[in-house]
Structure 1
């Protein structure tokens, strides 16, 4: 190991000191460091705010490991909320939970139980939309073992067919309620949305891959055809040529017929660019030539904000519309859930597409904005690390927290500090797969492609991270003086140098 765990313990000590531990689950604060030092990958960089946020997110994630009679689950809220299911679980962020947790060295001890819970132990897997099958595949990809996915194939197929039965519209696209996308009170509302349609495309394509491994070739062909049809419809029907964006076609119920496919003929109060328009890139759905949409992420009249990105374009007349009876709005506030999706999609754009709209500098800027949002100013004016539900995009105040506090922390809303340590997004996966650039592959190779601009950092290191049963270390040392391993980017596998490059150029090696 290049990095020493003890050098980062002070972060965890500070988080514990500043914390009021309202709820304890499998690993309480007093045991946090002894567990984290062996389980989490280590990360070092010159930006200490971003580094602190990285360790804060692991500190928060372990709070949500919950041991139950059905094995381990991962919670979203720490307090019990009435809209949760068995063991206080909620499925809408399961994709985030799996993507983040897969990088723990002992992740299979927790996530295998969690995956099985949703299909075999009473988890309500269809309460909200999610990209569950795709996330299971990505977990298996990091572990290098797809036997779990193959074993669960009948349940995964059954779950997909139930979605078709309940939500497939006559158009061939899936209808979803914005609330069931966990995006209540959006400007566009319910309809044929880029959310569920992208998730169903990804799950169909993944089922076809699993079926191939299981030698179920008829099933493979069926689901590949479903995925191809979904992609065609997403690109043809949800893309607004004029506004260069994937949008929602509003529709009251899944059984309604679409009156018009022309966005300019829709009610202007519902015709809007929303951040969910970037979700198709999370699953590499668009072909090249759609990247004009990403201009909006960088535009202050679009989604760019000091504590953004916003969930709806700021130029729209209903941006941040008032609603006094609900604390969680998706009409403009910045949500870590959506920011995670967008930055994952952006990393895909930079890795998998030929385009000139987005650069590493843009990714670097946005992930730093995201990092600086992980704080709260206390009454004594001190700043502490904090994670909650949604953010006022211009001030950085945790917005739903402010509303719930003004309402007196109502018990039917989850009680005191409901959203504290909210596990509804990723951050460390974005550092690992995006900024540092460890890109999981289908085959027995490993690709490293950092999205750190060459003139920003003189060094960084990701250490003690497991990939396909091997320990990976990635270091960048501009002058060769920080780590004593020479100049440039270097990849070590089980302590052996497997690749190197200068000037942060990609490395691709066989394991």
Structure 2
């Protein structure tokens, strides 16, 4: 089915590779926004506290004593009445900043602060690249993520780094979503030949005869899962959803470029993968997307990776696939005291055979939690269904916040016990500040609900239940070159801008509502 396109795609890749990739990066043009409602100085105390929590044994491009100066220039500001939400928001920017590393070839962003034997140059690991792009797209100065991406794709004498494809990735999708925030068409089109070539390379060594992609669970960054193993070539919901997302993104980038043939080819790629995932990875009995084993039988176990198709809006609407989301509310499913487990709790194999350092047989990972919460926000925004609601999203975000503490202090690590909240590698140096998830992107696009769009309308759909908070404000968001401010003030007394829900663009009010509901400015 897919091989009919092979020769056309190879020919196209040769043509596209000849495109001049010398476009000037917007990384050279740092922009500083200006908050409208919130004052930066009111949040500095968080960073002062974070700096006292540790002896800074590892320092890179922006050490702790420069952290606030960097944050003040680069991040959206957030305020809410639930102090732990606010604290973890600033903690996540503070910890993400630790991973910015200056190299002879530009800035890199790491996953671990300590060196890992399987990393590429500069301790870079590609597994978390999609997370890094989605989180850093909200940083005002674009040079950090742009230079990191250029390093990955051109840092090996103009060629990709040797370990770029060590792990499955959704980079094309993430870069297109970044474009929806900053509208930097030049950077995206310049990356098109690189992303195109990467897609073809994945087809050459990871595509099965039926068109699905296979992957070892360790190369998904999810070793020793209930459905797989380090050496089993299973067709997993992860890589197949990633490749669908990448194909959709590449079709849109091709359309932007005026490459009609590329647009058609990648649309077809996406359509085929959508059909294959829906027919071959959906278990009618369990009503869930599952791993297809080497023996072409479904794994017969629900895992959090079965939610990933919605990260890319893959499942077709109106076919009942959304019923899978009931499992996040079921204590026998994925619902646990400290968040969402990586495998269903009813399984007799739950938490039975993890390796002791990477347990994907049920423990909670921020990596998976952030993917599932992104997918859940898509369901609540883009699907007409009655299985989950705003209350479910807020509950899981609340648990995600609560989980990011260790011995009473903000903490981010690899994975934790689902019932006690205890970080299972919390005392190991490698686990501290594990940069393999998103949080602030979830606050901005999910909780507060700014939904990036290709047009110039501002769409905000907060997933905060009406009765939860009397006020909140997200300010200094650099979006399409403008500063966006979003606030809710139940009484009008907190921000003195009137009662209700309000959106401002460069300080000018552009939309209002009496309720916390979806608002789209004209």
Judge same fold: TM > 0.5, yes or no. yes
Give the distance between the partners of 2:267 and 2:243, measured in 1 at CA. 12
CA shift for structure 1 position 38 = 1.6
Give the distance between the partners of 1:208 and 1:170, measured in 2 at CA. 23
Give the distance between the partners of 2:339 and 2:463, measured in 1 at CA. 20
Q: Does 1:463 align with 2:497?
A: no
- SS of 2:339 mapped into structure 1: coil
Give the distance between the partners of 1:156 and 1:365, measured in 2 at CA. 37
Alignment of 1:87-166 (within 5 A): 87-106=122-141, 108-122=142-156, 123=161, 124-166=163-205
| Structure 2 residue aligned with 1:310 | 341
Among 421, 437, 445, which residue is 1:396 paired with?
Answer: 421
Among 455, 458, 471, which residue is 1:443 paired with?
Answer: 455
Equivalent residues of 2:491, 2:500 under 8 A apart: yes
| Structure 2 residue aligned with 1:230 | 273
- SS of 2:247 mapped into structure 1: helix
Equivalent residues of 1:115, 1:136 under 8 A apart: no
The alpha-carbon distance between structure 1 residues 310 and 259, as it changes in their structure 2 partners (threshold 3 A), is closer
| Structure 1 residue aligned with 2:29 | none
Alignment of 1:31-430 (within 5 A): 31-106=66-141, 108-122=142-156, 123=161, 124-189=163-228, 190=232, 191-251=234-294, 258-260=295-297, 263=298, 270-288=299-317, 289-323=320-354, 326-377=356-407, 383-401=408-426, 417-430=429-442
Give the distance between the partners of 2:185 and 2:321, measured in 1 at CA. 33
Give the distance between the partners of 1:223 and 1:259, measured in 2 at CA. 26
**What is the number of equivalent residue pairs in this alignment?**
476
Give the distance between the partners of 1:113 and 1:163, measured in 2 at CA. 23
Cα deviations across residues 345-380 of structure 1 (Å, max 9, x unaligned)? 000000001001101001000000000111111xxx
CA shift for structure 1 position 452 = 0.5
- SS of 2:335 mapped into structure 1: coil
Give the distance between the partners of 2:457 and 2:102, measured in 1 at CA. 35
Equivalent residues of 1:173, 1:192 under 8 A apart: yes
Q: Does 1:12 align with 2:47?
A: yes
Q: Gapped runs of 5+ residues in structure 1? A: 252-257, 264-269, 378-382, 406-415
CA shift for structure 1 position 259 = 4.3
Give the distance between the partners of 2:307 and 2:296, measured in 1 at CA. 25
CA shift for structure 1 position 18 = 0.8
- SS of 1:438 mapped into structure 2: coil
- SS of 2:278 mapped into structure 1: helix
Equivalent residues of 2:88, 2:404 under 8 A apart: yes
- SS of 2:503 mapped into structure 1: strand
CA shift for structure 1 position 322 = 3.7
Q: Gapped runs of 5+ residues in structure 2? A: 1-35
Give the distance between the partners of 1:259 and 1:151, measured in 2 at CA. 39
CA shift for structure 1 position 326 = 3.7
Give the distance between the partners of 1:52 and 1:357, measured in 2 at CA. 31
Give the distance between the partners of 2:296 and 2:262, measured in 1 at CA. 34
CA shift for structure 1 position 150 = 1.1
| Structure 2 residue aligned with 1:409 | none
Cα deviations across residues 52-91 of structure 1 (Å, max 9, x unaligned)? 0101000001101111111111100001110111110111
| Structure 1 residue aligned with 2:37 | 2
Give the distance between the partners of 2:451 and 2:296, measured in 1 at CA. 42
| Structure 1 residue aligned with 2:7 | none
Equivalent residues of 2:353, 2:361 under 8 A apart: no
In the TM superposition, structure 1's runs of 4+ consecutive aligned residues that sit over 6 Å from their partners are: none
Equivalent residues of 2:224, 2:353 under 8 A apart: no
TM-score w.r.t. the length of structure 2 is 0.90
Equivalent residues of 1:137, 1:146 under 8 A apart: no
Give the distance between the partners of 1:69 and 1:443, measured in 2 at CA. 38
Equivalent residues of 2:474, 2:486 under 8 A apart: yes
